[in-house]
Amino acid sequence: MTETPNFTTDFAVENQNDRQNDDQPAKSVRTMARVALSLSFFAFIIPIGVAAIVVAHMAKRRLEWGDGREMDDAMVRAASWIAYIQLALALFITIFFWSLFQTAIGLGRDPMVRQAMHPVDINRTLDPAGARDAEQTALTQVNQLIAIEEQYRRHREHGDYACRIDQLIFMGPETASAAQKQQFGIQLYESPYMFRLSNCNPVSRGMTSAAFVLTAVPHPVRMPEKSLIYCADQTGLVREVRGGTSLDCLQNGEPAQ
């Protein structure tokens, strides 16, 4: 007995398979849309935000090809907007706080701010260790002032020297920035040594050649007794004497160590 083919059943099965095959791209797009939407809520984390945008664009491209449904398109659009907005805010906040951080670093390096935040007690007597450090610092500053004097003279038409410490501070070391010059002036002001220029230039007291005398005398309140006194002149030789006066240094000082 010959079996009659059931064309109705075969057609229904085939039609069902076709619908299942048609639904596969739509399911794929829906999955991508859901993933993009889920990631978009964490887009403030920049790598996740970038991933959300990439997945959303991939899903959008698939939708343009005819895959997916209207609901999928709405999810993709929502994911894109949420990701872009959060990512933009995250970048703005990152740049804002980075700028604040850089500004704080710049202020921390500003000598005036540092002075305000860390004021020096100019009435406190230094301990022996601090006094030794102050002596070495004062010797360095004397040498710096001598170098600036020579620099000042090179820029003067008549080859004369500066007669005031503030003139040397204003000129500053040759390669120093404005902030470094300002810092140098503050260091001299805060120093437990008193710096003084005298006997400078040929006009004064009938001198026949440009000259100057620079002295650095310890402040009696801040430095202990018998601290080093420094003195120098246009020759560039720095001399020192322990205790006494600046005149003792000029007359009997030994070359500074």
pLDDT tens per residue across span 107-162: 665 545 554 555 555 667 888 999 999 999 999 999 999 999 999 988 887 788 98
The alpha carbons of the chain give a radius of gyration, in whole angstroms, of: 40
Quote the CA–CA distance of 70 and 78 in Å, as a whole number.
Answer: 13
**Under a CB-based contact definition with an 8 Å cutoff, are residues 138 and 161 in contact?**
no
In this prediction, residue 134 carries a pLDDT of 93
pLDDT at 208: 63
Residue 232 in contact with residue 142, Cβ under 8 Å?
yes
CATH topology of domain 128-255: Fructose-1,6-Bisphosphatase; Chain A, domain 1 (3.30.540)
Q: Give pLDDT < 50 ranges for the chain.
A: 1, 7, 10-22, 111, 115
The conformational region for residue 246 under phi > 0 = left, psi -120 to 50 = alpha, else beta, is alpha
- Residue 221 tokens read as 């309140």
